[in-house]
Copies of this chain bind each other. A is one copy, B any other.
Amino acid sequence: MVGCSVAASSELSDCVLPYVPGLHAYTPGIQPVGPGWVKLNTNECPYPPSPGVVEALTRELRDGGAALRLYPSPTSAPLREALARVHGLEPSQVFVGNGSDEVLGLLVRCCTGAVAPAGFTFPSYSLYPVLVGIQDGAAVSVEFDRSMRLPVDRIAGSKAKVFFLTSPNAPTGVGFSRQDIARTLETFPGLLVVDEAYAAFAQEDAVPLLARHRRLVVVRTFSKSHALAGMRVGYALADPEVIGWLDRIRDSYNVNRLSQAAGLAALADAAYYDQVRQKIIRTRDAWYRDWTGRRAWFAYPSQANFIFVEPRDRLGRTGPEVARAAYDFLVSRKVLVRYFPSHALTASFLRVSVGTDDEMLVLHESLDAWLKAPPAA
């Protein structure tokens, strides 16, 4: 793989695996610095975490932060146990990671190589191909058509050893039924990773299927539904054998002390998060009706905390130029949404995270202003 000459004057580039310098890192949504931004671009929760989270973190800081000098639980054992209780599973079926991104990366590393392809749909979470590239693995992409219905048969025939399915999908927000997931498990012979980052906002989830399907992995995160994107806590639910693979290859202390405490405290306040979830769903559905009704814009029915919407300009046109113009206008108003220009299935759309009522009003006033603005040169 590398042809590093045996002379101390060798080049730096001789020391790296040859594919690494050519990798393209994942591009996260912009994290603007400074005040005044309406940030609807990375699907963060618009509401703060449970007051219990701050209380728990403050407790961890007592005695001058003396506990911070000690390593955390290497296995995040208390959090695994609490998650097992919440989901009606055994702790041996739970893995906790430094955000669900770490969990997804570890799953790729367990299963993917040059002759062991990883699969994913397009569009879906654009991190998957990046993770496969990092592993120098083969990738199989299964494209949706504009209906965004789950292409079960094409997944089954994809020859992937592991398949990543975002459900509800990102960036479309389309939810897949438990029945469709079950059908996929029955026909696809590899490991099926159902990335349920947005499951809190959906009608169904795949967790009950774990009882019957050993090749199912459900991945969750505290980032969206639990308002803890800043803390990096995600987890996997799976067969103990799969959990064992992840434990063999993770960092020894992959989740820090405060993140473990924050996750535990969040789980303990289900009532608060239930209210937050219901509020986000109400806001989402109200604006979905407004967009598709009053404005007559197309949007996919969303089961997530964002809406994938196709802007229509003052002349009634849609398309990549229109979406780009709307995006740019919003940025000029300090309203950030997400735009994925690289593919026909996404280039005419904007992905808008569901914010507070105030944030959504600013967004819609900005869109009104865009519709009234003279066309750009």
Give the Cβ gap from A40 to chain B, nearest Cβ, in Å. Answer: 12
Bound state CA distance, A2 and B242, in angstroms? 16
The answer on a CB contact under 8 Å between B68 and A253 is: no
Chain B contacts for A36, CB-based, 8 A: none
The answer on a CB contact under 8 Å between B25 and A48 is: no
The answer on a CB contact under 8 Å between B42 and A69 is: no
Within 8 A of B (CB), among A96-154: 98-99, 101-102, 105, 109-116, 127, 134
Q: Please tell me if A188 contacts chain B, counting CB pairs below 8 Å.
A: yes
Out of B2, B26, B223, B249, which one reaches A161, CB within 8 Å? B2
Out of B5, B101, B188, B250, which one reaches A253, CB within 8 Å? B101
Q: Please tell me if A347 contacts chain B, counting CB pairs below 8 Å.
A: no
Give the Cβ gap from A29 to chain B, nearest Cβ, in Å. Answer: 8
The answer on a CB contact under 8 Å between A229 and B24 is: no
Chain B contacts for A185, CB-based, 8 A: 8
Copies in the complex: 2
Out of B72, B113, B190, which one reaches A15, CB within 8 Å? B190
The answer on a CB contact under 8 Å between A53 and B65 is: yes
User: Given known contacts A190-B4, A230-B67, is B16 in contact with A245 (CB within 8 Å)?
Assistant: yes
Chain B contacts for A127, CB-based, 8 A: 252
Give the Cβ gap from A335 to chain B, nearest Cβ, in Å. Answer: 16
Out of B6, B49, B71, B116, which one reaches A159, CB within 8 Å? B6
Give the Cβ gap from A135 to chain B, nearest Cβ, in Å. Answer: 9
Chain B contacts for A13, CB-based, 8 A: 241
Out of B69, B116, B232, which one reaches A256, CB within 8 Å? B232
The answer on a CB contact under 8 Å between B8 and A68 is: no
Q: Please tell me if A208 contacts chain B, counting CB pairs below 8 Å.
A: no
Chain B contacts for A248, CB-based, 8 A: 20-21, 23-25, 134
Chain B contacts for A258, CB-based, 8 A: 57, 230-231, 256, 258-259
Give the Cβ gap from A43 to chain B, nearest Cβ, in Å. Answer: 10
Q: Please tell me if A187 contacts chain B, counting CB pairs below 8 Å.
A: yes
The answer on a CB contact under 8 Å between A239 and B188 is: no
The answer on a CB contact under 8 Å between A215 and B44 is: no
Within 8 A of B (CB), among A164-188: 185-188
Q: Please tell me if A82 contacts chain B, counting CB pairs below 8 Å.
A: no
Bound state CA distance, A113 and B136, in angstroms? 11
Which residue of chain B has its CB nearest to the CB of A254? B98
The answer on a CB contact under 8 Å between B26 and A48 is: no
Bound state CA distance, A49 and B258, in angstroms? 15
The answer on a CB contact under 8 Å between B66 and A10 is: no
* Proximity string of chain A (200-242) to chain B, C-beta cutoff 8 Å, 1 when within and 0 when not: 0000000000000011000000010001111110000001011
A8-B187, A68-B262 are known contacts; what are 4 more A-B pairs with Cβ within 8 Å? A20-B248, A23-B249, A48-B68, A71-B230
A interface residue numbers (CB < 8 A to B):
1-2, 4-10, 12-17, 20-21, 23-26, 28-29, 31, 39, 42, 44-49, 51, 53-54, 57-58, 61, 63-74, 98-99, 101-102, 105, 109-116, 127, 134, 156, 159, 161-162, 185-191, 214-215, 223, 227-232, 239, 241-242, 244-245, 247-259, 262
The 7 closest A-B pairs by CB, nearest first: A230-B257, A69-B227, A15-B191, A23-B248, A232-B256, A54-B65, A10-B189
